[in-house]
Amino acid sequence: MNASETPIYLLDSWAVLAYLKDEPAASAVESILVDAEESRARCCMSLINAGEVLYSLARRTGWEQAEATLDRLRAIPVEIIGVTESHVVTAARIKSRNRLSYADAFAVAVAQERNATLVTGDPEIAGLPEPVKIRDIRPQK
């Protein structure tokens, strides 16, 4: 498989939190991470969504525990994508047209830019009419 055929996955904060908290959707994220470790896929995440993971953990467990969890996040094969002016403008445009959080709009913007499949279980993103490939990892009922 050459680089142009390698699938690219963008994890949003919903997916990463599900993985870190070992929720039912964690196995889908783990499978993607194994593929990334074995060079069968590339995995990335917006810096904005990484911050969202950090503050969500801090609210639940306190700042010290959240920072400790950062080490676990740093150990997974995910490229953190920094914020560019283009991301800000695209995310603002997406946010202005849809009912989703601004952080979620960054995930969509970066996924569009990277031609990545956005991995999420967030219903606001899963039903989005924006032109983006989405892998909904919510467990089926």
For 40-58, the pLDDT digits (tens) are 999 999 999 999 999 999 9
Q: Is 53 helix (H, G, I), strand (E, B) or coil?
A: helix
Residue 79 located in a structural domain: yes
pLDDT score at 5: 85
pLDDT score at 126: 82
Residue 2 located in a structural domain: no
Q: Which two tokens stand for residue 11?
A: 């994890």
Residue 3 located in a structural domain: no
Q: What CATH number corresponds to the domain at position 89?
A: 3.40.50.1010
Task: Give the range of the structural domain holding residue 122, as residue numbers without chain letter.
Answer: 8-136
Give the total number of structural domains in the chain.
1
Residue 122 located in a structural domain: yes
The rounded distance, in Å, linking the Cα atoms of 29 and 10 is 11
Q: Using alpha carbons, list the distances in angstroms from residue 83 to 36, 89, 107, 110.
A: 22, 11, 11, 9
pLDDT score at 135: 95
Alpha helices per DSSP H over the chain: 13-20, 26-37, 47-61, 63-75, 85-97, 102-114, 123-126
The rounded distance, in Å, linking the Cα atoms of 35 and 41 is 5
Residue 1 located in a structural domain: no
132 pLDDT exceeds 70? yes
Residue 64 located in a structural domain: yes
Q: Using alpha carbons, list the distances in angstroms from residue 41 to 1, 27, 56, 133, 137.
A: 10, 16, 27, 15, 17
